[in-house]
Amino acid sequence: MELRIFDSYELPNTLEECELLGQGSFGEVRKALHPSLGDVALKLFQLTGDCKEVQRQKKEFENEAKILQRMNHPNIVQFYGIVSIFSHEGIVMEYMAGKNLQSLIESKKKNDWAWSERHRLLCQLAEAIGYLHTHDKTKAYIHGDIKPENILMSSSMQLKLADFGSANIRDKTECIPSLVVPHSKQHTWPYTAPEFLKDLFMEKSTAMDIYSFGVVMYEILTKQRAYSDAKVGSEVVCLLIISKMERPNAAPLNEIETELKKTPCEDLKNFDKLRKLMQQCWQQDPSKRPNITKILRKLSDDKCEAHDDGNISLGILEDTLPPYPPPKPPMRQASDVNWGFFHSPNLKIVNTKINKKVSLVKGDITKQKVHAIVNCTNTTLHPGGGLHVDDVIHAAAGPELLKECIKLGGCKVGEAKITLAYKLPSKHVIHTVGPIGMNVRALDSCYLNCLNLLRLNKLKSIAFPCISAGFHGYPNSEAAKIALLSVRKWLEQHHTTVDRIIFCIFNNLDLVIYEELFKTYFPK
């Protein structure tokens, strides 16, 4: 994807026309009006040195911007492009009309913030970090400055992580922030891992982001800034963090626990789990901190619907869609008692009628000429959730697909909804939301609900991607076993209603896994 470089004439002519939103250690952020994008945020940096040095810095700046461009997730502030303006280099990004998490914490009283709301915010923040750490299988991207000031809230209270890449831009370009604050009151040390406080020149790691997440967890749980009640200066606290494993005051946590015990309920159980997770995240030894996949799994186990944020307005005019009222089958729920998973078919029996219905294809799912392809998406049904297949399908289908998805009003984990396919060679797209972490029942439900929609709409062929494998933290081999077993179960009862079921594999690892497992689940 080519880096978008804005022309300066697309933005206001003078700096004074751009409202100052904030000043950080790496630059200042201003609000600007773009003719087609509307309100955007403009982050400005200044490059210094002779002509040759400025060119080098500009090249590094553009390289870092290309990385930012690849970050596409609903819980990360969207990057639009770069611009040279006002004698500065600028990043053009999504404008967030809401407040940041810091102001949210400071504005709410301890007892007026529902636990479900706190849980939701933790899940969304973990989703954003999970995308940075895991979406690229060749490299983990590190934020390096996770703190409430960099956690923004949209007008619909959707959390978005900001300021990813600013530290890299500073380090690689040695650029000077557009506004230098000699005695800034913004301290990031409370969120900085002890190993980095001890050695500021060491290479950053994902474990440092996990430590920061743990401290932010404390602030969300207690609605109190970490170390705000310290009786000594920040330098002393830093030394205590390094040498004595000092952590934020436990008294507010104990007060919450005491209050919850007065009326025992599910909140107390969830609070205890979150407190333990928080303590694991800020372990002194980086190797003992859980990775983000484990964190997402624990949050998911606590019944946190990490994606379920309701409808999020994208500001898109919903044109009238062609008449399309597909029938709605009853969806299997995670709470259903009669889960088919407990009654597996006899895999040793060779069933040629079933075998000829299934096939394995390595390639692009958007190229499959079938009646329906399956899209692994998030509960909003909006692309940009860090799911490669979701983004690719929407890009190939065109904007009409998103317009129809918006009308559907979201989808729960394990369920499925059907739309037209528009510019795709298939006739329909069946959208399903895979679970985060190893939730066997929910993943089984994804496949069965997709197949039931296929049958109910009298469609004869379908192509599946690897649902939940990879980014959602489901081990590839385990996800493949559930996919094959779920399809085999369904075919035992409904093989006469379908002509072809394709498992469309994108990478070589999954191909090897599926080829081997096919011998077990579809023996010949």
Binding residues: 43
| CA nearest neighbour of 500 among 489, 492, 491, 508 | 491
Q: Which residue has the tokens 């739309």?
A: 419
355 exposure class (CB count in 10 Å sphere: 0-12, 13-18, 19+):
middle
Q: How far is CA 288 from CA 42, 126, 214, 277, 517, in A?
A: 39, 18, 13, 12, 34
The C-alpha atoms of residue 130 and residue 437 are separated, in whole angstroms, by 12
Count CB neighbours of 515 within 10 A. Answer: 12
Binding residue numbers for ATP: 43
φ/ψ of residue 93, rounded to 5: -145, 175
The set of residues, in sequence order, having a beta carbon less than 8 Å from that of 53 and lying 6+ positions away, is none
User: What one-character DSSP code corresponds to residue 144?
Assistant: -
What ranges make up the beta strands (E) of 380-485?
416-420, 428-433, 461-464
SS3 category, 35: coil
User: 3-state secondary structure string, 164-227?
Assistant: CCHHHHHHHHCCEECCCCCCCCCCCHHHCCHHHHHCCCCCCCHHHHHHHHHHHHHHHHHCCCCC
**Assigned token pair, 444:** 């089984």
User: What one-character DSSP code corresponds to residue 319?
Assistant: P
Cα diameter, the chain? 76
Q: Which residue has the tokens 């009222």?
A: 325
| CA nearest neighbour of 110 among 223, 253, 250 | 223
Conformation bin of residue 174: beta by default, left when phi > 0, alpha when psi is -120 to 50: left
**Assigned token pair, 78:** 């969207």
The C-alpha atoms of residue 353 and residue 491 are separated, in whole angstroms, by 9
The C-alpha atoms of residue 508 and residue 358 are separated, in whole angstroms, by 19
| CA nearest neighbour of 494 among 442, 454, 522 | 454
